[in-house]
Amino acid sequence: MSEEKKVSSNVVWHQATVDRQARETMNGHKSVILWFTGLSGSGKSTLAHAVEEKLHELKCRTYVLDGDNIRHGLCGDLGFSDQDRVENIRRIGEVAKLFLESGVISLTAFISPFRADRDNVRHITSDEDFFEIYCKCSLDICESRDVKGLYKKARAGEIKEFTGINSPYEEPLNPEVTVDTGTETLEESAEKVLNLLIERGIIQR
């Protein structure tokens, strides 16, 4: 479902004199993209913010890109068709890449239902920079939470193309981390993510 990357004509990339390595050195940690994916209600945003709090305590520079918040501005012109979902993730991927170059650890919390779109974000960066975190949670549990009342509306036919009900979610095949948000505590899941960052040499505790 991915599209060929479009590039504006008559533009040249300007190479900054202050580069990513210099920013990482100043920050005292490496920059990466932590990509939280999962069904609505699986706890993506909750976990992303919990991890950010722990990183903040370690004096890391971070920023959470949250799905709903982004759709209030940058992606406010998009709907929820397959085509719009693809464009939504493409834009977020490019923003996350900018944060990567700025030396910041970005945490993105998006359903991002299609594998191809998540893979495209990985490909515009690298395997070393992109950590896919699958917030695994059964549809039954996600629907029982229904924090925003969206599943109820989808079941009633008030929301079309809702992921998990009448639009597919493609589970990650080889995520860097899988957290079972249906059985694990928030602390346990957050520790899994932090341990990954320590093991990969991104941060130190």
Residue 81: per-residue pLDDT? 79
Structure tokens at 71: 């759709």
Give the Cα-Cα-Cα angle 20, 2, 98 (nearest 5 degrees): 15
Instruction: List the CATH number of the domain containing 159.
Output: 3.40.50.300
Tell me whether residue 90 is in a domain: yes
Residue 181: per-residue pLDDT? 96
Tell me whether residue 9 is in a domain: no
Q: Encode pLDDT of 124-150 as tens digits.
A: 998 999 999 999 999 999 999 988 899
What number is the average pLDDT over the span 79-91?
84
Residue 205: per-residue pLDDT? 79
- Provide the whole-model pTM: 0.88
- Angstrom distance (rounded) from CA 126 to CA 121: 9
Tell me whether residue 148 is in a domain: yes
Instruction: Count CA atoms closer than 13 A to 115's CA, side-chain side.
Output: 6
Residue 2: per-residue pLDDT? 44
Tell me whether residue 42 is in a domain: yes
Catalytic residue flag (residue 112): yes
Residue 35: per-residue pLDDT? 97
Number of domains forming the structure of the chain: 1
Domain around 121: 20-199
Structure tokens at 75: 């992606």
Q: Encode pLDDT of 162-205 as tens digits.
A: 999 988 999 999 999 999 999 999 999 999 999 999 999 999 87
Residue 122: per-residue pLDDT? 95
CB under 8 Å to 112, separation ≥6 — which residues?
Answer: 35, 37, 89, 118
For 24, counting Cβ atoms within 10 Å of its Cβ (0-12 exposed, 13-18 middle, 19+ buried), the class is middle
Residue 85 pLDDT level (bands cut at 50, 70, 90): confident
Place of tokens 């950590």: 131
Tell me whether residue 40 is in a domain: yes
Question: Which entry of 45, 106, 112, 189 is annotated as an active-site residue?
Answer: 112
Q: Encode pLDDT of 14-65 as tens digits.
A: 677 789 999 999 999 999 999 999 999 999 999 999 999 999 999 999 999 9
Tell me whether residue 15 is in a domain: no
Residue 182: per-residue pLDDT? 94
- Is 176:131 a contact under the CB 8 Å cutoff? yes
Tell me whether residue 8 is in a domain: no
Residue 1 reports pLDDT greater than 60:
no
Tell me whether residue 24 is in a domain: yes
Residue 80: per-residue pLDDT? 79
